[in-house]
Amino acid sequence: MFMAGKKDNIRHILTRLAVAQILIIFGIWEIIQPAYWNSFVPTFVSGFININLFVQLHGIFIIILGIAILIGAYLRISAALAALTILAVIVFLLISSGFSDIIVRDIVIVLAAASLVFDDNMYLRATKSR
């Protein structure tokens, strides 16, 4: 059985903190200043829902994901949803405005979240030696 060392635990915790903090900070920002994020919302969304409301709901969703990742609740599912959510943002950004520095940043977030999905050390359980 795989036994995680201290470095694995530290790497795991730092990755969770990084992904969680970016989701929580961006989520709060989306709730507080939705107009700042309006230009990132695909145009077809405005036909279904008010753009500011959409941005705020997105903010609430990513805050929930960030908190779940931070505390380790349903970690693989939360991290997978975070990766898919940011991947969708990347796709819409590519379609609407092409490649940019924002996309580069978001790719790193997707990769960090995806690394949590495949992390064998995800629960930091104490292992008993036999």
pLDDT digits (tens, 9 = 90+) for 98-127: 999 999 999 999 999 999 999 876 554 444
Q: Identify whether 107 is part of a domain.
A: yes
Please say whether the beta carbons of 67 and 59 come within 8 A.
no
Q: Identify whether 126 is part of a domain.
A: no
Q: Identify whether 46 is part of a domain.
A: yes
> How many structural domains is the chain composed of?
1
Q: Could you give the dihedral angle defined by the CA atoms of residues 55, 60, 64 and 65, in that order, rounded to the nearest 10 degrees?
A: 0
Here the tokens at position 124 are 């930091």
Q: Identify whether 72 is part of a domain.
A: yes
pTM, entire model: 0.86
Please say whether the beta carbons of 87 and 45 come within 8 A.
no
Q: Identify whether 125 is part of a domain.
A: no
Q: Identify whether 45 is part of a domain.
A: yes
Q: Identify whether 10 is part of a domain.
A: yes
Q: Which domain does 43 fall in, by range?
A: 6-117
The answer to whether residue 73 scores a pLDDT higher than 90 is yes
